[in-house]
Every structure is written in C-alpha cells, then in structure tokens.
C-alpha cells in the first residue's frame, strides 16, 4: 500500500506572472544604484507594511545605499502578526518573533534603525491617519531626505496603505518618494502596470547582504504550523529582481 504524505495547505497564492515579468524586464538594461538620485541621499527611510517587505522589495537597494554612506532607517507599520490568520491557525507570539527577525535582517542590510509602529496587520487600510502620522514623525524627527516604499497599486492592501502613507508624507513635507514592486510580478500581469519600471543592477556585496537578511526570516520561509506551507513560496524567495516604478 502506498502512503502519500498530506499536502500542505498553501498560505500565499502562487506566482502566476513571473515569465511575463521576466520578459518585460529583459527589454531594458538594469540601472546601477549609483545612477539613481537616491544614491546622493544622506538619510533614507524605507516605509513598509510587514517584516520582510524591506528585504524582498528593496533589500539590495537599501544595502547599497548604506554601503555608500547613507543613513538608512526602516519604518515597518505592522509586526506581521496576522500572516496565517486567514488559515484559522493561531501562532502565539508571531508578531514578536517577526519583529526580532526584522531587527536581525535590517542589521544585515546595514540599516541604522528599524522601528515598528505596531499598527494592526491586515487592517492598515483602516488606519490611514495613524500610518501617515507614524511616517511624518519619523521623517521630521530624523531629517529624512528620501522615502522608499512599496508600489501604490501593489496587490496586497497593506502594501498599498503603506505606500499611500509614504506618498502623502512626501507631498506634505516635500520629500521625494521612490516606489518598488513586491507582489506585483507574482500576481499582476505586466500589461496592467502602465508606469515605467526600472530593474536595478544590484552589486554582489548588496545581493549577498539581501540573501543574509532573507535568511533571518525563518518564520516566513519554513512552516509555522503542521500542515501549512511556508508563508513565502519558493518563487517569491528566489525572485532575483528589485524594481522601481515611475
């Protein structure tokens, strides 16, 4: 009798548009970080929704900026405590665990400080004013010259909320905002992104720093409970590109 191992319950929808995105991104040369206006920034704040967003979407970029002498901070608006809540699985202390992973990962990227605002995970769209306040306070207190965030139309609602908070703060304070793709190459057809996209040429030391940072997120790359698949599918973990929009 053949015994089949039970199939793990997926936590995250699979990637469906990677080949099309690879084709789109291959049409233009990758742009080195030193050619970006960001490369001349003295103080940069990355505004993200969850621990690991900063590494997946912009880890090599942040590492490169820090290595070039910029002061880089990360403001994470939630602790990521609801990562598997939609599967009716309770993981006690998940938010605290993910915060610790965030601190380890950002140190490996060369980030000066990582701050969590501890707003409700999966409900950022319900706290736009609070998210904006958190961004404004950090920018004003630390003299931030550039903001980096997620794309305003990312498929994840928390990511969109984080981006809109950063964009509103940027307009209010006169600070440039740079948007990066995270879930878009996985879930959004490239023809639906009509803005220009720029694939970054991440240098090897910064790519290595990104890999070390991603390795800190054990809660996201290994199952959180028996019968569950990891939160981050392999296609997401191994996606090689960092992409600016606009």
Q: Where are the domains of the chain?
A: 32-83+92-245
pLDDT given at position 128: 87
pLDDT given at position 76: 98
Mean pLDDT of the chain: 96
pLDDT given at position 87: 94
Dihedral class, residue 177 (left if φ above 0, else alpha if ψ from -120 to 50, else beta): beta
The full 3-state SS of the chain, as one line of letters, equals CCCCCCCCECCCCCCCCHHHHHHHHCCCCCEEHHHCHHHHCCEEEEEECCCCHHHHHHHHHHHHHHHCCCEEEEEEEECCCCCCHHHCCCCCCHHHHHHHHHHHHHHHHCCCEEEEEEECCCCHHHCHHHHHHHHHHHHHHHCCCEEEEECCCCCCHHHHHHHHHHHHHHHHHCCCEEEECCCHHHHCCHHHCCCCEEEEECCHHHHHHHHHHHHCCHHHHCCCCCCECCCCCHHHHCCCCCEEEC
Q: 1 pLDDT exceeds 80?
A: no
Q: Which of 56-60, 127-131, 184-188 has the lowest mean pLDDT?
A: 127-131
pTM: 0.96
Fold adopted by 32-83+92-245? Rossmann fold (3.40.50)
pLDDT given at position 7: 76
Q: What share of the chain has pLDDT > 70, as a percent?
A: 98
Rounded to whole angstroms, the Cα distance separating 165 from 155 reads: 16
């Amino acid at each position: 009798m053949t015994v089949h191992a039970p199939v793990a319950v997926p936590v995250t929808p699979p990637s469906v548009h990677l080949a099309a995105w690879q084709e789109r991104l291959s049409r233009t040369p990758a742009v080195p970080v030193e050619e970006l206006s960001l490369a001349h920034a003295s103080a940069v704040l990355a505004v993200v929704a969850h621990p690991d967003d900063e590494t997946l979407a912009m880890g090599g970029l942040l590492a490169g900026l820090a290595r070039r002498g910029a002061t880089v901070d990360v403001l994470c608006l939630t602790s990521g405590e609801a990562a598997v809540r939609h599967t009716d699985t309770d993981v006690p202390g998940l938010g605290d665990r993910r915060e610790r992973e965030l601190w380890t990962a950002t140190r490996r990227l060369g980030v000066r400080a990582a701050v969590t605002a501890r707003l409700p995970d999966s409900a950022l769209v319900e706290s736009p004013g609070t998210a904006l306040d958190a961004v404004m306070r950090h920018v004003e207190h630390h003299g931030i010259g550039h903001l980096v965030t997620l794309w305003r139309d990312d498929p994840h609602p928390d990511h969109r909320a984080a981006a809109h908070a950063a964009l509103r703060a940027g307009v209010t304070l006169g600070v440039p905002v740079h948007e990066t793709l995270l879930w878009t190459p996985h879930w959004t057809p490239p023809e639906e992104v009509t803005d220009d996209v720029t694939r970054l040429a991440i240098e090897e030391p910064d790519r290595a720093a990104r890999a070390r940072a991603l390795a800190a997120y054990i809660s996201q790359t290994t199952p959180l409970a028996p019968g569950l698949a990891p939160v981050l599918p392999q296609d997401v973990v191994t996606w090689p590109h960092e992409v600016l929009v606009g």
